[in-house]
Chains A and B, each alone.
Chain A
Amino acid sequence: MKGEIYRVAGPVVTIQGIKPKMYDVVHVGHEGLMGEVIRIKGDKATVQVYEDTSGIKPGEPVVNTGMSLSVELGPGLLESIYDGIQRPLKVLQEKMGDFIDRGVTANGLDRDKVWEFKPIVSSGDDLKAGEIIGVVQETENIEHKIMVPPNVSGKVSEIKSGKFKVDETICILTNGTELAMMQKWPVRLPRPVNKKFIPKRPLITGQRILDGLFPVAKGGTAAIPGPFGSGKTVTQQQLAKWSDTDIVVYIGCGERGNEMADVLNEFPELQDPKTGRPLMERTVLIANTSNMPVAAREASVYTGITIAEYYRDMGYDVSLMADSSSRWAEAMREISSRLEEMPGEEGYPAYLSARLSEFYERSGAVSSLSGEEGSITVIGAVSPPGGDFSEPVTQNTLRIVKVFWALDAKLAQRRHFPSINWLTSYSLYTQGLSEWFAENVAPDWVPLRDNAMDMLQQESELQEIVQLVGSDALPENQQLILEICRMIREYFLQQNAFHPVDTYCPFDKQYKLLKAISKYSEMAQAALESGIPMKDILSLESKDELAKVKFEEDFDSALDVVLTKMDKEFAALGGN
């Protein structure tokens, strides 16, 4: 059955003559532009089109595929770079050149590539939905587990072994169902799981302020809101580079082309600190830049999270970065306004909050249908207009996420990076993760951290007084607190993402660094009490040298040298 175009207004096209279902994918016009049905009214249906509609005329044909927007899942996802609707950018470049034309389709997975499939079930076995039937070595470190699709089950009548392409049959069930390595899944539908758990393990990111003060759990959710120039993208990229998850899905949603080019350039060169392999081998990139079609931007976060769920189902820890969720919300707003829907707050559609929570709820630590335990950690950047956190996207996000990393333009302006404000940020996982930290980092890590936070809080109160009377008017012990806090800020919290050593800080190093500051703090307080003048305590060389140990390749021995010197210097000061 064929329909035709009735009306074209930008990315929104009205069609007539066919009866599609909601969210069916249709091809419109002579060029077959891909679109998705988003409203049905009488004999007409409204379609959001993922490509540019210039020159498209009423009366051109429309074909319904009868399928909803789906992604292809199987070996070959890793190391891929997709646009918002899972078209590989590399293939698009081969087909259309350096600029993205329209009307070109491309398979998400390479149909010609051959993979070595090793079955782990045999004929006669009963297969539950989601069960693992075999494995493929996808990259050096990732074993791709081939699963029965979540809506299929039955008894194996034949299972093959050897080299296959993704769409070739590898398993036949007694009911006649043929399974290939590749399966398709509609992006707007969460993949089912057995059970969700409360997250108990931290996501180690190698970023001191994140791991140290505001940790996120594996399976948790975090938001990074901040005005432009405050370092959202650098933070997101640091997380994508150094998070200790097995798989990283990075969605560049409505952001800068040059930034994506930088990621594409850099990731294959960088090493995963855990495995020593190129980072790209564990990464799936989705790049739908700000000038690519807005409807595809809307779809890009769903494409990303569906891929993340697929790897989670295999039992992997996945982290997903969405940069930026505000651009996604704006895409919703743009399409909603073209549909002439009644707007909610600031022109955003009334369903903004529901869509955001549906998306973040697809995170979690789970037991999958196959019984494997995996997790998805979702970290969303938010770009509030004018840096005003009271706007709808930030507010609706904060109602859902458990960790809030508040970026602060003031800190960025003085080149305090990462410019995450330690007073306004929070993590609701701190308590739940204490046990893990005590066991795996050090028993005194939690009190050490709480003490640092407490000092920083005191500092902000003291700063208010300093603003009025100057720092010299404070009693000496309070001046000391200010100095210790300056050390915590500059030595511990500040971290240089572009420094080869400092860009990634293992937890052990974080602990030792904070411990060293705390040691100085204790010794200085004792010295002060025994009557040593403040300026002598402040002018210790070892204190200034501590500033630079984080940049040393041989951190441990550099730290030892400084600490030994510190002991000597304090001893030389005398006192009791």
Chain B
Amino acid sequence: MTKEYKTIIEISGPLIFLEKTEPVGYGELVHINLPDGTSKRGQVLDTSADIVAVQVFEGTGGLNEEAGVVFTGETIKLPVSKDMLGRILSGSGEPLDGGPRIVPEQRVDVNGASMNPYSRKPPEDFIQTGISTIDGTNTLVRGQKLPIFSGSGLPHNEIALQIARQSKVPGSTEDFAVVFAAMGITNEEAQYFMEDFEKTGALERAVVFLNLADDPAVERIITPRMALTAAEYLAYEHNMHVLVILTDITNYCEALRQMGAAREEVPGRRGYPGYMYTDLASLYERAGVIKGRKGSVTQFSILTMPGDDITHPIPDLSGYITEGQIVVSRELHRKGVYPPINVLPSLSRLMNSGIGDGKTRDDHKAVSDQMYAAYAEGRDLRGLVAIVGKEALSERDQRILEFADLFEDRFVRQGRDEDRSIEGTLDVAWEILSELPESLLTRVDNKYIEKYHPAHKSN
């Protein structure tokens, strides 16, 4: 039944072209058998009655026209099972930890299907990460996709690990799992993650997919899809709350650009393919909660902004799809603040549905807005002070300037293992807000000032 074709007519970059085949399906998985007995895998990109184009995941090194090509008749599928937890797999789903192959409960198409918007349940369960700049001002909720926008040399990996370690839904004891997909990160970075997973025992609850920097770039296109397929399976078939960490999206996009160039496509902005928005959406949109099902998929991706430029196509297109972003700042990092999260360009779009009375606390939104407004103004004043000196500022402006410093020092800064509860976070917020005159707290209702302001509380 499986017929082997030896009709390769062209090999170009990661692509091979064949002629005179039986009809081949678009997106089919392909096995390529080399004369030396090894084999590679690929996927059909373009199929017509005359010619078929295949992209080869492991690269075309060592291939020549004598290689045999077998079309499997099915799209790329991942064998999934609950036993995947605790396993380390390659970027294309093969075991790397020396353990047996996964005995599949199901085999699932890695491209997934788009969730019917009508079936989605709006995410609203507050996740406590223990990090004030996230919980307090950019709250994460279950089913959200919230990436970290970082730059090279910044501690995004530490932040991601701290989140993976500390995240919980207060008062809930439901099953959770972590799916970790590495795309083109270095061996050293991967080790760092693995060590931490092992040390904290998180590995037992994790599925790890590793595509490292020296693995084929084309495989990177499949890796996140494998990871998300595993995550959806655990979430929707086994009722688990899955946190997916994808790192680094930038490497993924580079792979996409490389493929586009090999296919001689018309490039879009900065050489990235015109369909990059749609392609990224097909990853990010696989986060969510479904009505009537218990599990959820929450995504926490990491992307390094080339040149710290937030308008670069990768962070830009991501920001248009994800439900906010956590921006890591070089300036704060240089000041020695950990975690160096700059709240001003950071945003959680789903924050409002996850906070408030019964979820976090009734004063949460008001406190957050007030800190944002005051901190933004304080940062502007810093620029002014550099020119005119502190003395030229009015009394009011000086207080706001001091607030900005307090905010970075007391609210943003925290220990690498410091797990602040949401009450703890809001209490710190009130402590620093109480350093401002009450007349400046225009974003906060009087009833909250009476209830939580340290000056009133103690009376």
Contacts and interface: CB of A to CB of B under 8 A. Distances in A.
A55 B71 CA distance: 11
Interface string A320-343: 000000010011011001001001
Nearest to A88: B118
Interface in A260-316: 260-262, 264-265, 287, 289-292, 294
Nearest to A411: B376
Contacts of A471: 394, 397
B286 interface: yes
Contacts of A337: 265-266, 274-275
A414 B278 contact: no
Interface residues of B, number: 87
B191 interface: no
Contacts of B121: 261
Given A229-B325, A291-B281, A291-B285, A470 B23 contact: no
B65 to A, nearest CB: 23
Nearest to A473: B392
A260 B324 CA distance: 16
Nearest to B439: A544
Interface in B271-313: 274-275, 277-278, 281-282, 284-288, 290-291, 293, 310-313
Given A289-B114, A414-B373, A9 B45 contact: yes
B118 A388 contact: no
A472 interface: yes
18 contacts: A7-B47, A55-B25, A98-B116, A99-B119, A100-B115, A228-B319, A229-B345, A233-B349, A257-B120, A260-B120, A261-B117, A291-B282, A330-B278, A347-B267, A383-B320, A386-B312, A466-B384, A472-B392
A387 interface: yes
B143 A258 contact: yes
Contacts of A416: 373
A334 to B, nearest CB: 5
**Chain A interface residue number, banded:** 35 or more
Interface stretch (A71-79, A89-97, A400-408, A432-440): A89-97
B96 to A, nearest CB: 27
Minimum-distance CB pairs A-B, first 4: A386-B311, A7-B48, A290-B281, A414-B376
Contacts of B442: 490, 544, 547-548
A55 B75 contact: yes
A415 B372 contact: yes
B323 A256 contact: yes
B400 to A, nearest CB: 12
B316 A386 contact: yes
A59 interface: yes
Interface string A10-21: 100010000000
B26 A56 contact: yes
Interface string B116-135: 11111111000000000000
A99 B24 contact: no
Interface in A493-543: 498
Given A258-B123, A544-B439, A498 B352 contact: yes
Contact of B26 (A53, A254, A334): A53
A542 B414 CA distance: 40
Contact of A8 (B47, B114, B445): B47
A258 B312 CA distance: 25
Nearest to B356: A498
A347 B274 contact: yes
Interface in A378-418: 383, 385-388, 409, 412-416
Contact of A228 (B24, B49, B290, B320): B320
A424 interface: no
A566 B312 CA distance: 51
Contacts of A90: 118
A6 interface: yes
Contacts of A92: 116, 118
B221 interface: no
B81 to A, nearest CB: 20
Contacts of A289: 114, 117, 281, 285
A404 B323 CA distance: 25
A58 B47 contact: yes
A56 B115 CA distance: 21
A229 B319 contact: yes
Contacts of B291: 98
A258 B274 contact: no
Given A99-B115, A257-B120, A414-B376, A347 B266 contact: yes
A54 interface: yes
A229 B311 contact: no
Interface in B363-381: 365, 369, 372-373, 376-377
B48 A58 contact: yes
* Most chain B beta carbons < 10 A, residue from A96, A98, A265, A467: A98
A333 B114 CA distance: 22
B402 interface: no
B122 A258 contact: yes
Contact of A264 (B112, B113, B117, B347): B117
Given A256-B323, A258-B143, A330-B274, A54 B286 contact: no
A258 B113 contact: no
B331 interface: no
Given A100-B113, A265-B122, A291-B282, A498 B365 contact: yes
Contact of A55 (B27, B287, B288, B293): B27
A261 B289 CA distance: 10
Nearest to B278: A294
A346 interface: yes
A14 B27 contact: no
Contact of A346 (B268, B312, B443): B268
Nearest to A54: B27
B332 interface: no
Interface in B36-67: 45-49
B116 A99 contact: yes
A132 to B, nearest CB: 33
Given A259-B349, A291-B278, 6 more contacts: A98-B290, A100-B115, A261-B122, A330-B278, A347-B268, A409-B345
B353 interface: yes
A96 B446 CA distance: 51
A334 B274 contact: yes
Contact of A330 (B115, B277, B392): B277
Contacts of B324: 229
Contact of A470 (B268, B349, B388): B388
Nearest to A81: B118
